[in-house]
Structure 1
């Protein structure tokens, strides 16, 4: 009887121990947050943390805002000045996505390097490439917390607006005469062109200048030379230059003819040339006589 009771108590002890182990295992399984996300082929076992989801939503919204702004200001190019706030927000949000860490896992791990699409990284690289391709950083002063339009950019924009206002106020398409606008706006245009050249650190003129300024200058040059045909004012100096160049190029030819036909003619002595064969015969004859 005692043996029977002992067996029953032993079995009950084992049962309660196993039950406690199951409860403990279930508790730890429900509260355990792994450092990596386990994928079961259809979805994640654990939901992505809310903080990472909020940052991702902010990243998507900032990418959408910059994309829309860049398209609307593609022509004439004002992308750098008009979309700088959207770009800064986009860049800052991406940095948060890279460095935010939750339970030992960064948000970057959840959204990057998991498949060949690389959607998040691709959007970042594309938008960053557009910004850098336009040298947009060159339009601003980045020493402050919020980027400010640089003094050189402000000066160019002011000079550009003055030139454009001068052309608009003096150009009358119905009269089909651009001489007046060319004369009145010549000084403004020349100053604008010279200042634009001074902004660049190379001979091409576009290496460190943001695209807003480059596009404004190219448009102004096209209007000035093609639409208004103001470059015709340079024709007289060019004709003088070409005439002087032609005269200078003709002087060596003239000098040659003078020396060749007008110089003193001298009689040159005739030079008698004897062949080696004749000289050999004469030497042989002289040897026989001697």
Structure 2
């Protein structure tokens, strides 16, 4: 008997577990029960979500889901800015409607209840990430937003993709006819590359759809068709290299010529100066060729103190006679200035 009771109990437990697993989950607070609209599940009674906020939650759920699906689908090749404009505008409208409603429901606004009431803030993160994808991609620069209330693709964007289409049409045509892609499509590629350079200084100034399209075109040009070497003309490259090689020759050659000319002028000036000095020397007599002037301090030299030496008594090096620093004393002997000064000091002491 006990064994049968145990088996029945185990069987009931299994049935209860199966019923729990297979039973549908409780519906969302914003979705009333299908059988009874007035029925509210017990845990939903304490949910921090006012029924008035359900419309905003539904709008964000639908628009964010559509935008995320669009961005993932158009990420490769990257055409998010062109293909997901409507989805992003719907997200913006739903978020603006949420922020514009400042009415308090159960003590707080719907934006507080949906975006900041829980720790993880899932809705807020998904919303900000979606806005960040659009802003980082510079998608607004693909469109002309000068007219309020309307968003149309700008003329630069349309012209760029027109040039891109011409390039790839040339690629396809030359491949089909087994032609020379690098030669026949070079002008189309140059036009596209030049126009792309005029759109902005860096890639951050250009819509990401255009940047990615240009990267793909360059990769096809250089990697697929190996046209990178033939992009520039050989004559222009050779002329540039020749100028670089000849520049040092002209630089050092010109410097040498100017230096020689300057040295010649300096030597000529020195030669003229020596000629003028020589002419003045020959114009005077031999006896007056060397006539140094001696300066004396006072008349006391010869009268009161005959031992005081004159100021300028040292003869120049080229004067014949005693060597530099030597003088003739009264007896005709050559003595140094030091000896004469010492003798004068002794005489004054005695």
TM-score by length of 2: 0.57
Match of 1:117 among 120, 124, 127: 120
Note the residue ranges of structure 1 that are not aligned, 5 or more in a row. 1-41, 267-278
SS at match of 1:115: coil
Give 1:211's aligned residue.
208
Runs of 4+ in 1 over 6 A off after TM superposition: 256-261
Match of 2:137 among 121, 134, 137: 134
Distance 1:81 1:63 in 2: 17
Higher relative contact order (CA 8 A, sep 6+): 1
Give 1:283's aligned residue.
325
1:248 equivalenced with 2:290 (yes/no): no
Distance 2:245 2:104 in 1: 83
TM-score by length of 1: 0.67
Aligned in 2, Cα 1:193/1:113: closer, same or farther, shift over 3 Å?
A: same
Distance 1:223 1:157 in 2: 16
Shift of residue 257, structure 1, vs aligned partner: 7.1
**RMSD across aligned C-alpha pairs, in angstroms?**
3.4
Distance 2:83 2:176 in 1: 31
Distance 2:142 2:69 in 1: 20
Size of the aligned set, in residue pairs, is: 230
Larger radius of gyration: 2
Match of 1:152 among 133, 139, 156: 156
Distance 2:185 2:163 in 1: 12
1:73 equivalenced with 2:74 (yes/no): yes
Distance 1:288 1:116 in 2: 105
SS at match of 2:99: helix
User: Which is helix-richer, 1 or 2?
Assistant: 1
SS at match of 2:185: helix
Shift of residue 146, structure 1, vs aligned partner: 4.5
Distance 2:223 2:48 in 1: 62
Note the residue ranges of structure 2 that are not aligned, 5 or more in a row. 1-42, 268-316, 318-322, 327-334, 341-350
SS at match of 1:94: helix
Aligned in 2, Cα 1:247/1:150: closer, same or farther, shift over 3 Å?
A: same
Distance 2:168 2:52 in 1: 50
Aligned in 2, Cα 1:47/1:125: closer, same or farther, shift over 3 Å?
A: closer
Contact 2:101 2:109 in 1 (8 A): yes
Distance 1:51 1:187 in 2: 62
Shift of residue 43, structure 1, vs aligned partner: 5.8
Distance 2:75 2:92 in 1: 20
